[in-house]
């Protein structure tokens, strides 16, 4: 089966780059929120999250940063916390042909919300070389 032809020919490369990046960013949030984490395990958890999401279609790079200050502030009797949206900052690069979408998740204090948005889109055809 030609998956591209059958399921994705109704949207542009740029649209599909946005689409696949959005899927992976929501996967990041809903899969890993609730995971026990502290200052010592945060770095390895970031890497495991990145490695798992890079397996998804079109994903080229995943940068996740867990806010260590928030872990410290939230600190509990038991010396770890559950990963929550306000301590996550992430950037996902998804690329379909010549279109690269950079999807961002960032906790916006003013909105009290981990906003997911398209930070940038690069069309490689438009770059002078």
* Of 83 and 129, CB closest to its own copies: 83
Binding mask 12-51 for its own copies (x = CB under 8 A): --xx--xxx-xxxxxx-xxxxxxxxxx--x--xx-xx--x
Query: Please, what is the angle between helix 42-53 and helix 13-32, to 10°?
Result: 140
* Whether the Cβ atoms of residue 105 and residue 23 lie closer than 8 Å to each other: no
Backbone angles phi, psi at 81, to 5 degrees: -135, 170
* Of 69 and 129, CB closest to its own copies: 69
Interatomic CA distance for residues 107 and 9, integer angstroms: 34
Q: Tell me which of 2, 5, 69, 79 binds its own copies, using CB under 8 A.
A: 79
Sign of CA dihedral 43, 49, 52, 54: negative
Site of interaction with its own copies (CB under 8 A): 1, 3, 7-8, 10-11, 14-15, 18-20, 22-27, 29-38, 41, 44-45, 47-48, 51-53, 55-57, 74-80, 82, 84-85, 110-118, 120-121
């Amino acid at each position: 089966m030609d998956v591209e032809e059958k399921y994705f020919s109704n949207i542009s490369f740029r649209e599909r780059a946005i689409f696949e990046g959005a899927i992976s960013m929501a996967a990041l949030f809903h899969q890993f929120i609730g995971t026990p984490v502290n200052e010592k395990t945060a770095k390895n958890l970031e890497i495991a999250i990145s490695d798992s999401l890079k397996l998804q279609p079109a994903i080229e790079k995943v940068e996740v940063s867990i806010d260590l200050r928030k872990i410290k502030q939230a600190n509990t009797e038991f010396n770890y916390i559950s990963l929550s949206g306000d301590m996550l900052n992430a950037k996902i690069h998804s690329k379909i042909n010549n279109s690269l979408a950079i999807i961002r998740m960032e906790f916006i204090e003013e909105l009290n919300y981990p906003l997911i948005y398209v930070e940038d889109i690069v069309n490689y055809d438009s770059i002078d070389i």
